[in-house]
Amino acid sequence: MSRIAPADLEVLTPDWRVAPKVRAAFTLRGGGVSAPPFDSLNVGAHVGDAATAVTENRRRVRLRLELPAEPAWLEQVHGTRVADLDGSGAEAHGPADAVLTRSRRRVCVVQVADCMPVLFAASDASAVAVAHAGWRGLAAGVLEATVAKLGVLPGNLCTWLGPAISAQHFEVGEEVRQAFVAGDAGAAAAFTRNSRDRWQCDLTLLARRRLAALGVGRVAGGTWCTYRDPKRFYSFRRDGRCGRMAALIWLA
C-alpha cells in the first residue's frame, strides 16, 4: 500500500494569527476510500462505514498532515466534558466533546458533520484545544468549559470557528431557542422565525456571543456552510447517513 497521501486529499488550513508552533487543519470529504454514502474521506468509526476504510482514511490524514501521533479520537456525546491529553486514565479518555493539550506530539481532534468545531490556541502556544459545538453543546456550555479547563486568560486566546451548518439551512424548534434565550436574552438575534412557525438558527452567531461573553476577542472563521457544499463537506441535516470530517490541532 502506498505511503504517500493522495493528491486529492484536501484540507482547510485555519486563517488565524497564532504562534508558529500551533498547527491546525480541517479535513474535507475528498481523497479517501469509503464507499457511498460515506464517500470518501470519512474519519468517523461510529457511522456504519467499513472499519478498514475508516482506518485507511485516518492513515491518509496522518500522512497528509504529517501528524506527530495518532489523534485522540473521542466518543462525542453532545456534552460539555473536556478531556486533557496530558492527564491519565479517565481524565485523558472517555466520552468528551472537547479536548486539550499543553504538550507536543499530542493531537486533539473532534469529528463533525454540521456541528461547529471551535479551535483554541493560547497566544504563547502554551496550550491548544478543540471543542465540538452543536446546539446542545453550545447551550450547555462546552465553550465555557473548554476555556475554564485551558486555564488561559480569555484575552490571550485565539479561536477559529470551522465549517458548520448555516442559519439558512438549520431549522429548529422553540425548545432550542429557549435553551439559549433563557440565559441570554440577546441570543434571540440568532433566531429568525420562518414560514412554518419554526426558527432558523445561526450557530456561528451563538458561538461568537458565547466567546465574547467569556472575554475572547480574537475569533476567526465561521464562513463555511456544510449543507450548501456537498462536494467538500458532509452534512447530517442534508444527507442523514453520512461520514464525518475532522478538526485537528496540535503543538509542533
Does residue 135 sit within a domain?
yes
User: What pTM did the predictor assign?
Assistant: 0.95
**Can you give the pLDDT at residue 195?**
97
**Can you give the pLDDT at residue 191?**
98
**Can you give the pLDDT at residue 7?**
66
How many folded domains does the chain comprise?
A: 1
Does residue 209 sit within a domain?
no
Q: Nearest 5°: CA angle at 236, between 190 and 174?
A: 35
Domain that includes residue 228, residue range: 11-165+222-251
**Can you give the pLDDT at residue 1?**
38
pLDDT in tens, 182-212: 999 999 999 999 999 999 999 999 999 999 9
b/e string for 188-220 if b means 16 or more Cβ within 10 A? eebbeeeeeebbbbbbbbbbbbbbeebebebbe
Q: Which helix (H) or strand (E) segment is 121 a member of?
A: strand 116-122
Does residue 97 sit within a domain?
yes
Does residue 189 sit within a domain?
no
**Can you give the pLDDT at residue 90?**
72
Do 226 and 234 form a contact (C-beta atoms < 8 A)?
A: yes
What residue ranges of the chain have pLDDT lower than 70?
A: 1-7
**Can you give the pLDDT at residue 93?**
80
Does residue 170 sit within a domain?
no
Does residue 39 sit within a domain?
yes
> Which CATH number does the domain housing residue 38 bear?
3.60.140.10
